[in-house]
Chain A
Amino acid sequence: MGIHVLVLFLVLQPATGEGGFNAGAGLFTYGGADLDSGLNTLGIDSLLLLPSVSLFGEGYRMNVVAQASPVHEANGFKVLHASGGLRLPGSPWIGTEAAHGADSPFLFSLDRPWLERDNSARDSLLYAAVEGGGILGFDGHFRAYREGTADTLVWAGIRSPWLGFAQVWWDGFRGPVEMNALGGLVRLADFVPWFSFIDSSGAVSGDAELRGDWARLPASLSLVPWMHYSDDDSTQAGLKVHFSGGPAAHSGVLRLGFPVQDEGSFSAMLRYSMQSAAGIHWSTGADASGEGDWEGFVIGEYRASPAGFGMGVSASQDSVRVTGRSTYSPVPSVSASLELSSDVFSGSADPSGTIMVSAFRGPVRALLGYFWSEGTSLFTVELGGWLGI
């Protein structure tokens, strides 16, 4: 356990404009000590250099991001990401891309991802793709991923154009992930049904929501019936009530779910936020299930410069925790916060505290933090910025 000193320089400006060349380098250091063990444990654990170059223009682009670690020689130098792509312009169009250290596959659905990004060992992920589109408005891709000696993951996808009243898309995965996913939406006057179906290694599930203006009430409420089907007996149907706020700065949602089959249980979720005329930002929420689990919170925060403060209470079956927070901003771009928290009713108060100071100047960021709880006391510093050509 140590104090951690974190210094980050990211030096590459993002590519903009019609074409050009960008280059830069970054520096990232991470050190530490544990205040309970004494300041003599303070040190730099790592120092990372992050050089980057990119070249781009109409129909082509190349990008390389590397990492070098002068402190931890074991890490040495390695290329985190190297990619290149070509695209023949016009319609129909076709393009190809290859990468080392690629983004792993990701698919979002109605309110949760079908496939979340896998952040493990991404710098060893190889990627090649062929993409095309423009034929009757359809776009498609064929992508292959390979990590080490693992099986190759193939991802094919097709997305329809807006057909005037509907759009559909399909994605299929073969390899370590066996999945077919079909999604779409239909606009029928005031009714806008969204749907998604997924077949993952033989397990079938689906989600549907009936959105649209059909149930928009004068009080800026809208009703969204929904259903989640699963062949593992967790099928639920329910209703979402959205407080869209209208002309006033508040919003919320009440989500109720009921089991369709004998198995499963009732679930409820409430979230509400409001910015008051007095400058207080309120947020409250609660979650409950038919199995008896519940938790809730209410937070009031007066956000102001140079000083603000707030308090929150969160409760569950066996805990009521109170948190106080104050902020101070002596000058623009510099802000500090103090947060103290304790359980007020349980046998163990479990107190904890956090002090954070942040400062930004142009592309440079500095963060300083102190975290304290029973038996733990950590101090962190982070500094980041970028310079490029």
Chain B
Amino acid sequence: MRPLAFVCALMCGCSALTPVPRSNDSAGLHLSYPGASRVQVISDWNLWGGAEGPARRFEPMTGEMTDGGGGEWFLPLPSGLPRGMYRYAFLVDGYRLLSDPMCSERGSWNGHEVSVLEVR
């Protein structure tokens, strides 16, 4: 039982393994990333930040998130999205693609694992 007790103590007491409270951002997307120079949301709804648009280039301003301070990045969801499923991901610093760590739905785009948003 000792190993199990140790693991339980580690899970409950170690701040490195204890989740922080979730930010109140139910109306939009949120990513905690201190040190990022810019974070964009790229998705089916904005032609993947322009990568699937006419110019086939990531546009630096598309889906730009707002730094609310301390590296907490926010973006409200686009209004008027019809019901359905939408893939999205965070583009950090213009080159690093991350799925949403707070979204459990997963899909793929261009060989990358991305998140899936359900709009009811």
Contact = CB atoms under 8 A, between A and B. Distances in A.
Interface of A: 8, 10, 13-14, 26, 28, 50, 65, 67, 80-81, 101, 103, 106, 108-112, 117, 119, 122-123, 159, 162, 167, 185, 192, 211, 242-253, 269, 271, 273-278, 280-283, 303-308, 327-329, 332-335, 337, 356, 358-360, 363-365, 367, 369, 382, 384-386
Interface of B: 14-23, 32-38, 44, 47, 50, 52, 54-62, 67, 71, 82-87, 93-96, 101-108, 116, 118, 120
Given A244-B104, A364-B60, A250 B19 contact: yes
Given A245-B102, A360-B60, A276 B15 contact: yes
Nearest to A255: B106
Given A305-B71, A367-B95, A247 B32 contact: no
A274 B86 CA distance: 23
Contacts, number: 176
A337 B35 CA distance: 10
A382 B74 CA distance: 26
A109 B87 CA distance: 10
A275 B19 contact: yes
A26 B55 contact: yes
Contacts of B95: 356, 358, 367, 369
- 4 nearest A-B residue pairs (beta carbon): A81-B54, A273-B101, A358-B93, A248-B19
Highest count of chain A CB atoms <10 Å: which of B21, B22, B62: B22
For the residues of B in contact with A, the DSSP-based class is: loop
Given A111-B107, A245-B22, A10 B93 contact: no
Nearest to B70: A305
Contact of A277 (B15, B35, B36, B102): B15
7 contacts: A10-B50, A250-B19, A275-B32, A277-B20, A303-B35, A335-B36, A386-B60
Contact of B17 (A276, A329, A382, A386): A276
A337 B71 CA distance: 16
B94 A358 contact: yes
A86 B11 CA distance: 60
A358 B85 contact: no
Highest count of chain B CB atoms <10 Å: which of A10, A81, A328, A369: A10
B37 A329 contact: yes
Contact of A276 (B19, B38, B52): B19
Nearest to B116: A111
Given A276-B18, A365-B94, A358 B84 contact: no
A108 B55 CA distance: 23
A327 B35 contact: yes
A245 B96 CA distance: 25
Contacts of A329: 34-37
Given A111-B116, A334-B37, A358-B94, A276 B104 contact: no
B60 A385 contact: yes
Contacts of B104: 242-244, 251-253, 271
